[in-house]
């Protein structure tokens, strides 16, 4: 008979597209004793977690909270709440995650107008404006701030401004951007934004911070049709995560994952947002200099590269899978493979959150040098 024993995972260094290295502080927070999800102690923690998320998102939005599921559920929450059958949504696609936004629009029974740009390039603002002009009926503009499949930063401030000029709401994917580069929900006028716990927040996977503007809340409350997803209906979730001491059961929050989320946000607050962005920028520069000295080229133009997700061209004649396999087996180091149109062509080297350190940059460069020789 087979016997089953505890699982002890290997100790890796995670420098791929996420999850990123989780600090011992966050892992320890997660191991604290579970309390009831309506325990007054937990309600206090929920309130503080919301405040810390407002800080991270740079917003005063009252409806700012973590969804009890990964980033993809945050994406779905934004679409199912704001989009109704028959609506028109302009979706900007320049990588994998923009494509998923389009899928969400279609599944809401709405019409997706696609603004498409090449992988590795920014969304073209002129094309977005043309689409806005051609579709005065459009209700929402949706785009990915930090496209993890390509390492491109889209110009979120300019895209939101354009959307507002044409009276559209905005849905922004900040899964990889939050904590790594500036995200300014109120200054940019974002209506719905979602992120993920396991990228630059360096928390365990499985939590998706979201925030909705007051304007978005009005739109959700004025819907003609019920939100198609019971679990992600913000009208119901606010009864549990909303204002005041009175909280009604909606689902059981993943209590220990919220401990971890809170701890990772406390760490971000201690460091300060601006300092966290500066750290990502500085170590990105160091990594790029080191990669270039190994003859490895960046795949994305310097003007709109993400510091936290470095997409590099795989050098000529190098076996993609063999090198990644050696990094994992000999160095316990994970870097990311290319996705979709970039499969086999690039590597994705993450410098996210707690994993964005001098030590990791040196380790990764040293390991790459060894395996490429
Ligand atoms: C990782 C990621 C997601 C999905 O998050 P999950 O937690 O894997 O569901 C969505 N958008 C972007 C840009 C991402 O990088």
Q: Which of 269, 295, 321 is the last residue of a domain?
A: 269
CA of 245 relative to ligand 1 center, distance in Å: 32
Helix axes 214-221, 234-241, angle to 10 degrees: 120
67 and 188 fall within a common domain = yes
Average pLDDT over residues 24-41: 97
99 and 62 fall within a common domain = yes
Average pLDDT over residues 164-176: 98
User: Mean pLDDT, the chain, as a whole number?
Assistant: 97
CA of 194 relative to ligand 1 center, distance in Å: 10
- Give the range of the structural domain holding residue 185, as residue numbers without chain letter: 24-269
Question: What pLDDT is recorded for position 135?
Answer: 98
Question: What pLDDT is recorded for position 153?
Answer: 98
Average pLDDT over residues 117-122: 97
Question: What pLDDT is recorded for position 170?
Answer: 98
216 and 298 fall within a common domain = no
- Residue 76 placed within a domain: yes
Question: What pLDDT is recorded for position 242?
Answer: 83
92: helix, strand or coil: strand
Of 280, 299, 303, the residue nearest 350 (C-alpha):
280
Look at the chain and report how many structural domains it folds into. Answer: 2
Question: What pLDDT is recorded for position 246?
Answer: 78
Question: What pLDDT is recorded for position 243?
Answer: 73
| Residue 232 CB–ligand 1 contact under 6 Å | no
CA of 322 relative to ligand 1 center, distance in Å: 26
Average pLDDT over residues 298-321: 97
107 and 245 fall within a common domain = yes
Residue pair 345/338 in contact by the 8 Å Cβ criterion: yes
Question: What pLDDT is recorded for position 274?
Answer: 98
Question: What pLDDT is recorded for position 292?
Answer: 97
Q: Which atom of ligand 1 is nearest to the CA of 18?
A: 1
C-alpha–C-alpha distance, residues 84 and 14, integer Å: 39
- Percent of the chain past pLDDT 70, that is, above it, reads 99
152 and 283 fall within a common domain = no
pTM: 0.98
151 and 298 fall within a common domain = no
- Residue 3 placed within a domain: no
- Residue 165 placed within a domain: yes
In terms of phi and psi (left: phi > 0; alpha: psi -120 to 50; beta: otherwise), the region of 125 is alpha
Q: Please name the residue whose Cα sits nearest to atom 14 of ligand 1.
A: 175
102 and 177 fall within a common domain = yes
- pLDDT of 346 > 90? The answer is yes
Four-point Cα dihedral 63, 68, 72, 75, nearest 10: -10
| Residue 200 CB–ligand 1 contact under 6 Å | no
CA of 171 relative to ligand 1 center, distance in Å: 14
Please state the three-class secondary structure of 120-183 as a single string: CCCCCHHHHHHHHHHCCCCCEEEEECEECCCCEECCHHHHHHHHHHCCCEEEEECCCCECCECC
247 appears as a binding residue in the annotation: no
Q: Which atom of ligand 1 is nearest to the CA of 95?
A: 13
316 and 262 fall within a common domain = no
- Percent of the chain past pLDDT 90, that is, above it, reads 97
Which tokens belong to 370? 């060894």
CA of 198 relative to ligand 1 center, distance in Å: 9
- pLDDT of 245 > 80? The answer is no
| Residue 76 CB–ligand 1 contact under 6 Å | no
C-alpha–C-alpha distance, residues 73 and 324, integer Å: 29
Pocket test for ligand 1, best of 18, 232, 310 (most atoms within 8 A of CB): 18
Average pLDDT over residues 2-9: 97
257 and 288 fall within a common domain = no
C-alpha–C-alpha distance, residues 40 and 33, integer Å: 15
pLDDT tens digits along 266-309 = 999 999 999 999 999 999 999 999 999 999 999 999 999 999 99
Q: Which of 269, 286, 317 is the last residue of a domain?
A: 269
CATH of the domain at 303: 3.90.1150.10
Question: What pLDDT is recorded for position 244?
Answer: 66
Q: Please name the residue whose Cα sits nearest to atom 2 of ligand 1.
A: 175
Q: For residue 339, with 0-12 CB atoms within 10 Å meaning exposed, 13-18 middle and 19 or more buried, which class applies? A: middle
């Amino acid at each position: 008979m087979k016997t089953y024993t505890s699982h002890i995972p290997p100790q890796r260094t995670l420098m791929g597209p996420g999850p990123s290295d989780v600090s011992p502080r966050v892992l320890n927070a997660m191991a604290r004793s579970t309390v009831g999800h309506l325990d007054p102690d937990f309600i206090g923690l929920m309130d503080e977690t919301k405040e810390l998320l407002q800080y991270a998102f740079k917003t005063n939005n009252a409806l700012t909270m973590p969804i009890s599921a990964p980033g993809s559920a945050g994406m779905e929450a934004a679409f199912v709440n704001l989009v109704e059958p028959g609506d028109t949504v302009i979706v900007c696609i320049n990588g994998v995650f923009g494509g998923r936004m389009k899928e969400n629009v279609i599944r809401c029974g709405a019409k997706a107008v696609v603004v498409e740009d090449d992988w590795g390039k920014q969304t073209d603002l002129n094309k977005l404006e043309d689409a806005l002009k051609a579709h005065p009926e459009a209700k929402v503009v949706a785009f990915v701030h930090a496209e993890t499949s390509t390492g491109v930063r889209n110009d979120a401030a300019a895209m939101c401004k354009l959307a507002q000029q044409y009276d559209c709401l905005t849905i922004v994917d900040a899964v990889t951007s939050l904590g790594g580069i500036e995200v300014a929900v109120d200054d940019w006028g974002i209506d719905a934004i979602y992120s993920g716990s396991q990228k630059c927040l360096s928390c365990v996977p499985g939590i998706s911070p979201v925030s909705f503007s007051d304007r978005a809340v009005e739109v959700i409350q004025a819907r003609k049709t019920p939100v198609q997803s019971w679990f992600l209906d913000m009208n119901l979730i606010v009864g549990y995560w909303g204002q005041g001491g009175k909280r009604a059961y909606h689902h059981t929050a993943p209590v220990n994952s919220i401990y971890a989320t809170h701890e990772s946000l406390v760490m971000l607050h201690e460091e300060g947002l601006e300092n966290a962005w500066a750290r990502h920028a500085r170590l990105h520069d160091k990594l790029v200099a080191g990669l270039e000295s190994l003859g490895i080229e960046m795949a994305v133009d310097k003007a709109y590269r993400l510091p936290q997700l470095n997409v590099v061209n795989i050098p000529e004649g190098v076996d993609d899978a063999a090198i990644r396999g050696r990094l994992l087996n000999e160095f316990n180091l994970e870097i990311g493979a290319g996705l979709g149109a970039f499969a086999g062509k690039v590597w994705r080297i993450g410098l996210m959150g707690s994993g964005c350190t001098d030590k990791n940059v040196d380790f990764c460069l040293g390991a790459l040098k060894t395996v490429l020789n």
